[in-house]
A and B are shown apart, each in its own frame.
Chain A
Amino acid sequence: MSQAEPTIGKKRRSQSSDVPTSGIHSLLKLLPFAKPFTWNFIVVLFLVIIYNGTSVLQPYLVKIAIDRDLSVHHPNYQGLLHITIIYVVIVVLGVVANFAQVLVLQYSGQSIIREIRLQLFRHIEKQSMSFFDTNSIGRLVTNVSSDTETVSQFFTQFFLSMMRDGLSVVMIVIAMFELNVKIAAISMIILPILFGISFAFRNRLRNAYQATRSRLSAVVSFLAENLAGMRIIQIFHQERRQDDRFGELNEKHRRANVREYRTSVFFNRVLELVGNLAVAAVVWFGGGSVLHGAILFGTLYAFISYIRQFFQPINSMTQQWNTLQSSMVSADRIGKLLEREPSIQDKPAVERIADVSRVRGQVEFRGVTFSYQPDMVVLKNISFRVEPGEFIGVVGPTGAGKSSIISLLARFYEPQMGSVLIDGKDVRDYAQDDLHQVVGLVQQEVNLFTGTVLDNIRLFREDIPRERVVAAAERVGAHHIIERMPHAYDTPLVGKGQNLSMGERQLLSFARIIALDPRILILDEATANLDSQTEELVQQGLQAVSASRTTLVIAHRLATIRHADQILVLEKGQLVERGRHDELVAKGGLYALLAEKSGVNARVVSGS
């Protein structure tokens, strides 16, 4: 079986061997999250004791009824009535305690997970961009959603099972010894047998389950892929072959599934068999004792009930072994993430700006050298200065380092040499919150969120009033487009704005910037081809956005920056030319070449 084991099983195994550190202590590290709920856990423990007590008492009460009231020579109906009433009270008490226990425990467990999730999310958000270069979003989403879910099982299922089932076993054992030491001692033989069988089957069950799971996911991905590529299958006339392949995968899944089913049926029936044989054995031993008058018949009856009560808790406890293992792995992943310090942080005693709108917006790069990885220099000794309110264009072929200028100005990364200054102060001396209020960014790709148009423009900030959003949309010429939507500003955007055209998305991102109103704007122009009408709209929007603030445009169309106050031409990480459009054209360098070849309206081709 292990030979044919598909990739998923392997991955899981290698993953767990990757993290030798994962152990019980990775779970313990998360305990501080549980601390505020200490009392809840104590209450749970108390409720569990009540519940278990009532379950253990039930057979005992029946024993009393039999031995004291029923099987004596002078039957006692009054006594029977009392016992029955006590029985009902005990049962109701048990049910109520159990119900309350579930609620308290789950509430605590869920609250702990909520806190872990929130902290994890915040912590991930705080990481610098270099973190996101190396950590895939899919993995992080898994950390936030499923790893936390697995850990929550530790706080609920595992904890509960250890308490409730552990206590049950202990209480049953105590009750048995109370009743009759000899028979109780003999009955104890069944404990190791039950644990042994459970553990032996658990592993096989788990493996069988995982094999079925991975084969099922092979079936799912085959289906997904083939449904998506049905056209190709049909046009290449490969229906039969794909059908056979599907048959094979399906057959593999069926086999694994049948094996899993057999293992589980076998497991359950074996347990049942042991139970039945144990009852027979108790009858044999106990019957003799009753005969010799060593015990009363009711005691034997209680023993038969108790033996049957053993199975459920032991079975459930062995099941928790798997829960423990997977929650340790998950807790380890969460712990590692939480331990990671963001590589870019505010300076300890950073001075906050009282009024962000009073920042003038002067930008200076002073001898900046930068690389993402050592020995791959992206920017070499770049120096330039932009006066408040100026409009600056940055051009150059792909890989010239244009986008890195954005990253440095927004302090997504830090330069290896030189410094980036705003109003003469190093960006590293600003609080990040202030800096990001001063510097606004419009990216090539417009990020849209699940929510209304309104929320997308104001980025869900309740402190930006609706009027300001509408005004912003009006300024960039998006207002009439939005008004035409089914619910105007309250139209929900579906599928990350797939119901919008490229141009409309661009305009929304412009409106967003105006609503946020930063002093400095960096605009990474979209490379996509827009039709001429939208192009015009976008250009107008751009003009509206750049008015009254310092603007840096990473341009892909020369038309966009024709009227710029200054154009910076980058090539291979170096600033090779700078000046106004006319000056640069007259100079006859790289810019002139680009301008001549492209014609002013065409794109400056940046690779492809």
Chain B
Amino acid sequence: MVPVNPRTLLKQFMLEHKWAYIVSLLSIVLSEFVTVQFPNLLGQFTDLLQAHKMTPALILHYAILLGAVGVLYVLLYGVGQLWNGTLGRRFEYILRRRLFHHWELLSTSYYRYRSIGDLLNHAMTDVRQVREALSGGLNILTNAIFLLIATLYMTLRTVPMELTLYSIIPLLFVPVFVVWFGPKVRLASKHVQEGLSDMAELTEESLSAVRLIKATGNEEVEAGRFRLRVEEIVRRQMTMFTRSALFQSMIPLMGSIAFAIALLYGGYLALTGRILLGSFVAFTLYLTMLIQPLQQIGFVINNFQRASASLARLAVLLGEMPDIESPEHPVELPVVRGRVAVHLPTFQYADAEEPTLTGVDFELPAGQTLGIVGRTGSGKTTLVNLLPRMFDPPTGTFFLDGVDVRDLSLQTLREAISYVPQDGFLFSSTVADNIRFGDEFASSDEVASAARDACIYDDVMSFPSGFDTVVGERGVTLSGGQKQRTSIARALLKNAPILILDDSLSAVDMNTEKRILAALERRRADKTNIIISNRLSAVRHAHLIIVLEEGRVVERGTHDELLRHDGVYAKMYHLQEAEEAVG
């Protein structure tokens, strides 16, 4: 899929909804022309009173007109605001979905060095920022600009231009001040937040180590460290409040100065008879109406600046090209048998200095079991991640049923492989949903049978709601072994021609391991299995065992052959044999 710039998305969206936008903005513009009638009417009313031409009927007339202006304005503005805000939220939705969709296309190597917290921040904060500019910003900007135009027009019509010019001078500083000072307030408030999370982190750190702190009588020292954080918060809070108080004082101050000028100069004009008292009254009201839009223009400028930065960040995210994709013309494999061949001269991660795997070469006929053993960091996981193209192997190195995995569509390839990760990653939904992950239409019987074979069935039945128990933070917390067994059940249910267990029995005890292996043999007798394990008992019956050390195959053969060979494998075996006896 072609990466898309979010700005293009935004343009498309606005074009698509151009009529809605036109109507909503028009309705806001209209509302401004309605609302500026308010001071005008009051002004006329004053003049009639002053000229002693007022009658009770006229008073009612003006009251009704004022009421009508009030109602019409609220309706027009409300409709425009609602429509616009709803549209903005729709774009927020679209953008967020687009982002997730895009992330699904990116491979493991993309996620390897990115923190999930950062990505989340983009998806939540940046997207929201864009929406705020789009809906709120657009509302306010339209509102502010047209209110300004309408007000200026009305004032210029009724009072001499000098009066408007002199009075408005202090007000012109309002947007400048907002643009200049607004970000400072924001920054100060960000520092407060950081201070607060610093304190929370320290509290967590201290309380997690409370045993040590008690054992060393270090309570006072810890309280001292805590005090530093707390005092820092107070300092930062005060900076923030000073700035925001300044901010909140300056704007009304400028408004009041403008008002004072109007009072003095306008009053002078009124008492010298150059303007009517009504015009003076109307003008002072217009002046108060101007403060808000001017202030808002400042906010909107800040808002647009932030949104623009967010859009730039989102553009980078969405511009990331998926590095692992299906070939344009994939080779069809109607039936996958599960024959695996690896002829890998060398594999190196893009950011690594040395190859992770060197000279790995083996063939595994369909229906056989391969064991991979070796120390942590010897390259076992990398090896099995290359087969389903979680990382891309070089062309012509990994073959499934004799076809280069890079020539197969990702769908064909990944449907042929079932995988159990080491950490037993589960989603926080129900146990059943997790086991069904690969096949959402599997029957309850199938789920139960997979659970039985993975030796998790009894555990599940002991949970409060059995298979409907939610796992994870909001439900039952599973032990490492339970997670592993549940993810084995998930992989078994998928029933793919190839099954990879990536050290997935490490947290399972010996007896359970034996039962799971036996079930595997029963259930997957004619299918290909690849088992990575630190514990040799798990690979003992494999048709082929390879021993990896620093990315190289140092030994290969069956269990008996390797024992006879009396090398690394044999040594590991004897050591583990001894430990097992104690356990």
Report A's interface with B, CB cutoff 8 A.
7, 58, 62, 65-66, 69-71, 75-77, 80-81, 83-84, 87-88, 91-92, 95, 98-99, 102-103, 106-107, 110-111, 113-114, 117-118, 121-122, 124-126, 129, 132, 137-138, 140-141, 144-145, 149, 216, 219-221, 223-239, 241-243, 246-247, 250-251, 253-254, 257-258, 261-262, 265-266, 269-270, 272-273, 275-277, 279-281, 283-284, 287-288, 290-291, 297, 301, 304, 410, 412, 432-433, 435-437, 439-441, 443, 447, 449-450, 459-461, 496, 516, 594, 597-599, 602-605, 607-608
On whether the beta carbons of A443 and B82 are closer than 8 Å, the reply is: no
19 pairs of residues in contact across A and B, judged by CB atoms under 8 Å = A75-B271, A98-B248, A102-B241, A102-B244, A110-B237, A121-B226, A129-B211, A226-B427, A230-B108, A234-B107, A270-B74, A283-B62, A410-B215, A432-B214, A433-B217, A443-B211, A450-B202, A461-B218, A598-B578
- How far is it, in angstroms, between the C-alpha of A151 and the C-alpha of B55 when the chains are bound? 57
The total number of A-B Cβ pairs within 8 Å is: 353
On whether the beta carbons of A235 and B417 are closer than 8 Å, the reply is: yes
B64 at the binding interface (Cβ < 8 Å): yes
B349 at the binding interface (Cβ < 8 Å): no
Given A144-B203, A287-B59, A450-B205: A83 touches B509 (CB 8 Å cut-off) = no
Residue among A114, A132, A280 with most chain B CB within 10 A: A280
Nearest residue, chain A, Cβ from B70: A276
Contacts of B583 on A, CB cut-off 8 Å? 605, 607-608
Nearest residue, chain B, Cβ from A308: B288
On whether the beta carbons of A287 and B215 are closer than 8 Å, the reply is: no
On whether the beta carbons of A287 and B54 are closer than 8 Å, the reply is: yes
Q: Which of A124, A227, A605 contacts B119 (CB under 8 A)?
A: A227
A7 → chain B closest CB, angstroms: 7
B523 at the binding interface (Cβ < 8 Å): no
B415 at the binding interface (Cβ < 8 Å): yes
A-contacting 9-mer, from B153-161, B277-285, B546-554: B277-285
Residue among A124, A236, A247 with most chain B CB within 10 A: A236
B376-395 contact mask (Cβ, 8 Å, vs A): 1 or 0: 00000000000010100000
Q: Closest 9 A-B residue pairs measured CB to CB?
A: A276-B70, A75-B271, A436-B217, A284-B63, A447-B209, A280-B67, A102-B245, A441-B215, A287-B59
Given A234-B414, A281-B63: A276 touches B73 (CB 8 Å cut-off) = yes
- How far is it, in angstroms, between the C-alpha of A253 and the C-alpha of B66 when the chains are bound? 40
On whether the beta carbons of B509 and A287 are closer than 8 Å, the reply is: no
Nearest residue, chain B, Cβ from A96: B249
Given A118-B223, A254-B89, A273-B71: A106 touches B237 (CB 8 Å cut-off) = yes
On whether the beta carbons of B271 and A77 are closer than 8 Å, the reply is: yes
Q: Which of B211, B227, B234, B390 contacts A234 (CB under 8 A)?
A: B390
A554 → chain B closest CB, angstroms: 14
Residue among A235, A272, A412 with most chain B CB within 10 A: A235
Given A230-B103, A460-B221: A291 touches B207 (CB 8 Å cut-off) = no
- How far is it, in angstroms, between the C-alpha of A70 and the C-alpha of B579 when the chains are bound? 104
B362 at the binding interface (Cβ < 8 Å): no
Q: Which of B93, B196, B219 contacts A149 (CB under 8 A)?
A: B196
B235 → chain A closest CB, angstroms: 9
Given A70-B271, A220-B124, A284-B60: A237 touches B410 (CB 8 Å cut-off) = yes
On whether the beta carbons of A141 and B579 are closer than 8 Å, the reply is: no
- How far is it, in angstroms, between the C-alpha of A125 and the C-alpha of B86 when the chains are bound? 50
Given A140-B203, A436-B217: A243 touches B104 (CB 8 Å cut-off) = yes
Contacts of A608 on B, CB cut-off 8 Å? 509, 583
On whether the beta carbons of B216 and A231 are closer than 8 Å, the reply is: no
Contacts of A441 on B, CB cut-off 8 Å? 211-212, 215-216
Q: Which of A92, A250, A262, A283 contacts B66 (CB under 8 A)?
A: A283
Given contacts A69-B271, A233-B104, A250-B97, 7 further A-B contacts (CB under 8 A): A71-B277, A83-B263, A84-B260, A283-B45, A304-B42, A496-B205, A602-B578
B235-251 contact mask (Cβ, 8 Å, vs A): 1 or 0: 00110011011101100
Contacts of A226 on B, CB cut-off 8 Å? 100, 427
B252 at the binding interface (Cβ < 8 Å): yes
B14 → chain A closest CB, angstroms: 18
- List CB contacts (< 8 Å) of B558-583 with chain A: 575, 578-579, 581-583
- How far is it, in angstroms, between the C-alpha of A272 and the C-alpha of B67 when the chains are bound? 12
On whether the beta carbons of A243 and B100 are closer than 8 Å, the reply is: yes
- How far is it, in angstroms, between the C-alpha of A163 and the C-alpha of B469 when the chains are bound? 51
Report B's interface with A, CB cutoff 8 A.
38, 42, 45-46, 49-50, 54-56, 59-60, 62-64, 66-67, 69-71, 73-74, 77-78, 81-82, 85-86, 89-90, 92-93, 96-97, 100-101, 103-108, 111, 116, 119-120, 123-124, 196, 199-219, 221-227, 230-231, 233-234, 237-238, 241-242, 244-246, 248-249, 252-253, 256-257, 259-260, 263-264, 267-268, 270-272, 277, 280-281, 284, 388, 390, 410-411, 414-415, 417, 419, 421, 425, 427-428, 437-438, 440, 474, 490, 494, 509, 575, 578-579, 581-583
B471 → chain A closest CB, angstroms: 11
Contacts of B120 on A, CB cut-off 8 Å? 220, 223-224, 227
On whether the beta carbons of B474 and A7 are closer than 8 Å, the reply is: yes
On whether the beta carbons of B70 and A125 are closer than 8 Å, the reply is: no
Nearest residue, chain A, Cβ from B225: A460
On whether the beta carbons of A225 and B427 are closer than 8 Å, the reply is: yes
Given A126-B219, A291-B56, A459-B218: A141 touches B253 (CB 8 Å cut-off) = no
Residue among B67, B204, B272 with most chain A CB within 10 A: B67
- How far is it, in angstroms, between the C-alpha of A232 and the C-alpha of B270 when the chains are bound? 78
Q: Which of A80, A250, A436 contacts B214 (CB under 8 A)?
A: A436
- How far is it, in angstroms, between the C-alpha of A7 and the C-alpha of B238 when the chains are bound? 36
Q: Which of B201, B211, B224 contacts A460 (CB under 8 A)?
A: B224
Residue among B215, B428, B438 with most chain A CB within 10 A: B215
A585 → chain B closest CB, angstroms: 15
On whether the beta carbons of B579 and A598 are closer than 8 Å, the reply is: yes
B480 → chain A closest CB, angstroms: 10
Q: Which of B203, B253, B390 contacts A231 (CB under 8 A)?
A: B390
On whether the beta carbons of A228 and B116 are closer than 8 Å, the reply is: yes
- How far is it, in angstroms, between the C-alpha of A254 and the C-alpha of B244 when the chains are bound? 31
Q: Which of A229, A266, A273, A604 contacts B582 (CB under 8 A)?
A: A604
A224 → chain B closest CB, angstroms: 6
Q: Which of A84, A122, A254, A459 contacts B263 (CB under 8 A)?
A: A84
- How far is it, in angstroms, between the C-alpha of A67 and the C-alpha of B225 when the chains are bound? 64
Contacts of A238 on B, CB cut-off 8 Å? 437-438
On whether the beta carbons of B92 and A254 are closer than 8 Å, the reply is: yes
Contacts of B69 on A, CB cut-off 8 Å? 276
- How far is it, in angstroms, between the C-alpha of A132 and the C-alpha of B85 when the chains are bound? 48
- How far is it, in angstroms, between the C-alpha of A608 and the C-alpha of B329 when the chains are bound? 50
Given A95-B253, A103-B245, A234-B414: A602 touches B575 (CB 8 Å cut-off) = yes
